[in-house]
Amino acid sequence: MLKRTPLFEEHLILDAKMVPFAGWEMPLSYKGIIAEHEAVRTSCGMFDIGHMGIIDIAGGDALAFINYVATNNASLLSENECQYSILCNSDGGVIDDILAYRLKDSYRLVVNAVNTDIVLNHLKEESKKFKDIKILHREALSMISLQGPGAVKFMEGQFFPHQMRHNHCLEWRGILISRTGYTGEDGFEFFTPAEMTAKVWRQFITKEVVPCGLGARDTLRIEAGLPLYGHEYSSKTNPFEAGYSWAVKLDKPDFIGKSALQKIKEFGVSRKLVGLKLEGKSIPREGFPVKVEDKVVGFVTSGTFSPTLKIPVALAYLDSDFAAAGKMVGVEIRENIYPAVVTSKKLL
């Protein structure tokens, strides 16, 4: 049976098209993906992200534990600050990418919905190597994301006159508010007690903030070059080829995957994650081959029609020799080859 967030009934009221996603019943769209996408790029939109996993880590060994399981250095975090980090296996492959927060008395990890149980089991197993660790799955919390260039003005008008720094958070009336997002725009994410979530959502609705579904969330993150587990990341993908070497701190003490990642960095990667801008109107999809002449040099990981650029775009892994920005390649779509130019992951 599919899980439902505290906002399920609110989505039905708004006539959202509901779809299964990572074990949850979630809104794909309300009034249309392109309209929702454009609302986030030009003004302000909001998303139900209550399907994300929220895990708190407490105890005297919490910092040492997080630094052991994740690639970034949590020692660099000040209180109420967060960082992007990656959980790797011993081969350097990605278990999940996460946000790690330093709170007053604990650390908080936000993980992908599809991986929540996998990450919980992984953390519980690795915690056996430490003496004082408490792992709590915060299932009584939910999340809402407010995104777009109008998000700051909205927050100052409706919540508080506070210029919160990016990648920082604060508590306000029982809600933890974080200046983070997954769209390439400015914005905020709200950790709400389940019983308060609908009230916060309705407050946005009454101020005419546009509700947005998974469809717009995907087109926005592809334009911004942001990875999604199961597409750009997997247990066979490492952070270096995905372009996230800055989130791997090899100068800190031993952590899971460090030895493998050191070797990868030393010898270099054989492929790189890039962006593609295509000619024509056909949409590239996951798994479509990328070719130079008759040689397959990579494959598409995510593709869509870009509502902002008005062209088909994709993220793709290409052999390193063909991954330079400006290089021309071809994407095979239903046995036809469509010219594409290689760009950075960030397509905008």
pLDDT > 90: percent of the chain: 94
* 180 in Cβ contact with 99 (< 8 Å): yes
User: Where is 223: in which H helix or E strand?
Assistant: helix 214-223
User: Is there a domain that residue 9 lies in?
Assistant: no
User: Is there a domain that residue 312 lies in?
Assistant: yes
Q: How large is the average pLDDT for residues 255-281?
A: 97
Q: Report the pLDDT value the prediction gives residue 153, as an integer from 0 to 100.
A: 86
Q: Report the pLDDT value the prediction gives residue 159, as an integer from 0 to 100.
A: 61
User: Is there a domain that residue 225 lies in?
Assistant: no
User: Is there a domain that residue 280 lies in?
Assistant: yes
Q: End-to-end alpha-carbon separation of the chain, Å?
A: 39
Q: Report the pLDDT value the prediction gives residue 320, as an integer from 0 to 100.
A: 98
User: Is there a domain that residue 300 lies in?
Assistant: yes
Range of the domain at 328: 270-343
User: Is there a domain that residue 80 lies in?
Assistant: no
HEC sequence for 22-61: CCEEEEEECCCHHHHHHHHHHCCEEEECCCCEEEEEECCC
CA angle 161, 167, 172 (to 5 degrees): 40
Residue 21 burial (10 A CB sphere; 0-12, 13-18, 19+)? middle
- Contacts of residue 132, Cβ cutoff 8 Å, sequence gap at least 6: 59, 60, 61
219 against 171, higher pLDDT: 219
Place of tokens 């599919």: 2
pTM (global) more than 0.85: yes
> How many domains are there within the chain?
1
CATH of the domain at 280: 2.40.30.110
User: Is there a domain that residue 178 lies in?
Assistant: no
pLDDT tier at 222, thresholds 50, 70, 90? very high
Q: How large is the average pLDDT for residues 38-54?
A: 98
Neighbouring C-beta atoms of residue 162, cutoff 10 Å: 11
pLDDT at 162 over 70: no
pLDDT at 161 over 60: no
pLDDT at 163 over 90: no
Q: Report the pLDDT value the prediction gives residue 164, as an integer from 0 to 100.
A: 82
User: Where is 99: in which H helix or E strand?
Assistant: strand 94-102
User: Is there a domain that residue 29 lies in?
Assistant: no
